[in-house]
Structure 1
Amino acid sequence: MTNSEMREKIKTGRGFIAALDQSGGSTPGALKAYGVDEQAWSTEEEMFALIHQMRERVITSPCFGTGKVLGAILFERTMDGTADGQPVPDALKARGVVPFLKVDKGLAEEADGVQLMKPNPDLEALLDRANAKGIFGTKMRSVINLANEAGIAAVVAQQFDEAKRILAKGLMPIIEPEVSIKSPERDAADRILLSEIVRQLDGLENDQQVMLKLTLPAEAGLFQPLVDHPKVLRVVALSGGFSRQQACAELEKNPGMIASFSRALLSDLRAEQDEEQFDRALGTAIDEIYSASVS
């Protein structure tokens, strides 16, 4: 796929984006959910090798290339790895799946009810590597725990500042200011976030667009102005700790948003499953998430 073909697929395609970007901090939990406990590895390299085996099973499963998965977000080590004998980005594109890369360096300590991203001085070098490997876009995550106006404004400003660095390298940024579904002020936080995002979008250049990855709002349809905004290529939803059933039900209440699920996509996969069982479990999840994304 050319860059313009990938852009059109993400803009207009029917389907969803798979989040396969668990990093160092979240990998042990992802492996445990997959049925691999911490006794199975003794070094970080062995741990990452195990999670890569899981991701390769997902990427090479026949159901992953049926057209229902529009894109996949990768961890840096996954981008550098192989699947089915090919570099992972090439293996994805061969299956019609657009590759994205997680580029943030994790979360800072909470202040003003939010967690900003840690500084990322080497971002441009990583973006150059991503371009060389045929990556289409990036993803970066912040967290919002409380409806603190100053904190949320800081999160959104930082996200858009980083997005401009990414746009300058010709890549499509996915901005992810996640509102915790456990927040006691979730609805108020959603509304402040909406206002701040619109303000930042309106400040982009006429030829610039971004993508947004957002928590499904407490009030259904609240983010419709973002879905319709000319500076937004696509709005995708994170599962945020919801079960797949819950996340799909909430997604169906928000027309125009599509899924970008991780745990809700992978929750029924187990290392001990044979290929038929694995493909059936993954295929069921893909079908359910696809249905919610296109309904």
Structure 2
Amino acid sequence: MAVALNEAELLALVDALADGAWHSGEDLAARSGITRAALAKRIDKLRDWQLALESRQGLGYRLAAPLERLDAAQLQAAAPGLRVAVQPVVDSTSSRLLEADPAQDPQALFAELQTAGRGRRGRQWISPFGANLYVSIAWSWPSWPRALTALSLAVGAECALALRELGLSGVRLKWPNDLLVDGRKLGGILIEHRGEAGGGCRVVIGIGVNLHMDAAQADGVTQPWIDLDSAMARLGRSAPGRNALAGALLRRLQQRLLAYPSTGFAAVAADWADLDASRDAAVRIHNGEQITDGIARGVDGDGALLVDTVAGRVAVHAGEVSLRLA
């Protein structure tokens, strides 16, 4: 019977290749104390993890680009009030936290690879190993905070502001939950909540940001996208490291979630307006078979999109609708 490959051994191989330089198969096998045949099996598994691996006769193996794995201790130090964990491979960080003990909240789970990452409206979130940032945060409040329907907008604003602090000046927000650069999707947010009216409220906030994804890894993405490397290169700058970005996001989100029951969306409404990619633009709203055209006029205090149509101004709530920019 075949022996399952050990995850720790696979991670050791990732770390050996993380510098992006060429490494001979002989050296890699000797470093792990295994045969070349056993090394080949591990290389195949890394390719299953969607790592961009190159091989060449006489040179060996290398990653197409250097890789920075997430450091749980460094991320924990960035947000001491959160329980922070990093898993190499999960189905979905949000699924894991939805099943986790709420008594451990607030907690954050990062993954290097998701096998079943998901976005809004049931879409798959492409999640190759180490290429992007995948994190979910579980947070519980003793009662439902006001403007809970606008929470995804507040989270989006904090994510965009964190990226701006790290030098990405061109980031914008597409209602209700997308991060954009030059009209292309850089990241997205998915919020799921549990609770009963009049009782406690628990939210799980899933965030994905494209960092270093190449075209092969993005096979299957059905909308225009961009990664942070490309976005920063357009500005003549280098992208921040994965741990630097993850730490910046945790710090801002922890502060926002702590304050949200008392401040609601109002505290970031001006930031959202400044980042709004659709304000005063022609938009088309898809709600099942119903289509509404109009001009976007920002959002209200509950996070609904205000659209001027031929029939007058309407407030569009997120739900299962889809916004298209003209």
Structure (1 or 2) with the larger CA radius of gyration: 2
Greater helix fraction, Structure 1 or Structure 2? 1
| TM-score, L = length of structure 2 | 0.25
Q: Name the structure with the higher strand share.
A: 2
TM-score normalised per structure 1: 0.26
